[in-house]
Structure 1
């Protein structure tokens, strides 16, 4: 019987699966051009290759599990960062900043790899759902600020974010990119606060 490294079998299984997903995420973040092999993922997690089959039926199943794991994590991290600050103006800036931190941590590389490795209607639908989840708290903050065209302004703010994302991925200084992106958007949200007062 395998050794259990947690108080319960369920917790042990969850920890093992988490370790395998994290190992696969690391491989993807390093620029994998194919779905990671079971051997590569298991070795990275410090487990036997045969352990993979206890959690994933196939490499495609592993990829689907990564998709299920990655997209909600991104959205949750951004929502948490926005919830930690007071005022809708600060929430808009936190939205930009949290996304850039995730890009710097390699999350965008993982999401990009997933979309390239699993193109098709399912990944497209998940990608749209991710963006809708991300845009919702931004739109809510802009609405609370009294923005006249919430959809249009969300699009423009995301254009700034996408340009900043490209800068981070090119290796430009994260702190400088974060400050510059905030400097571009801050006057707008500050003006909305001033007009509301």
Structure 2
């Protein structure tokens, strides 16, 4: 029987699976546009290729697991930031800030890498659904503010977020990018508040 590195087999298995997910995330982020092999992921996680197959039958299975593990964590961070805000305007600004913090933490690079290498329609569909879920609090806040076309406006907020994200990725200037994007967005949101 193989040696386990945790008090129980369940904990051992969970730790190994988490190590594989972290290894896959690291490789995807380091080499955007390229899907690492299971052997490469195993090597980074300290496991043999045959051991990796005990957890994932294919690269598609591994990528699906990375998506299933990552997206909810990102959503939780965004939801917590938005929930802490006390008005529709500040919820949208909190959404902007939390997203830029994810970018600064390297999570956006992982999301982009996953979108680039999504090998199946299922993964692409899940990515689109996640994107739509992310914008839901923005749409809700815009509705509360009385925006004339909340769905289109939320896409424009997302475009501003994407531009600010590129700046964070380019020079690491989270505060500078947030301040500039928030100034543009806040002026519009305050106008909506005034009705």
Q: Give the TM-score band, short-chain normalised.
A: 0.7 to 0.9
> Are the structure 2 counterparts of residues 119 and 4 from structure 1 closer, same or farther at C-alpha, using a change threshold of 3 Å?
closer
SS in structure 1 at match of 2:171: coil
CA deviations 1:122-178 (Å, max 9, x no partner) are 233112201110111111122222323211221221111111122222235222001
Unaligned runs of 5+ in 1: none
Q: Is the 8 A contact 1:103 1:109 kept in 2?
A: yes
Q: CA deviation at 1:73?
A: 2.8
> Are the structure 2 counterparts of residues 80 and 6 from structure 1 closer, same or farther at C-alpha, using a change threshold of 3 Å?
farther
**In 1, Cα distance between the equivalents of 2:30 and 2:172?**
18
Unaligned runs of 5+ in 2: none
Q: Which structure 2 residues correspond to residues 1-197 of structure 1 after superposition, within 5 A?
A: 1-195=1-195
* TM-score computed with the length of structure 1 as normaliser: 0.87
**In 1, Cα distance between the equivalents of 2:27 and 2:127?**
21
**In 2, Cα distance between the equivalents of 1:15 and 1:57?**
18
**In 2, Cα distance between the equivalents of 1:121 and 1:61?**
13
> Are the structure 2 counterparts of residues 32 and 139 from structure 1 closer, same or farther at C-alpha, using a change threshold of 3 Å?
closer
SS in structure 2 at match of 1:54: coil
Runs of 4+ in 1 over 6 A off after TM superposition: none
Q: CA deviation at 1:86?
A: 1.9
Q: CA deviation at 1:19?
A: 1.5
Q: CA deviation at 1:11?
A: 2.7
Q: CA deviation at 1:2?
A: 3.2
Q: CA deviation at 1:105?
A: 1.8
Q: Is the 8 A contact 1:31 1:109 kept in 2?
A: no
Q: How many residues align?
A: 195
**In 2, Cα distance between the equivalents of 1:10 and 1:188?**
52
* TM-score computed with the length of structure 2 as normaliser: 0.88
Comparing 45-54 and 18-27, the one that deviates more:
45-54
SS in structure 2 at match of 1:152: helix
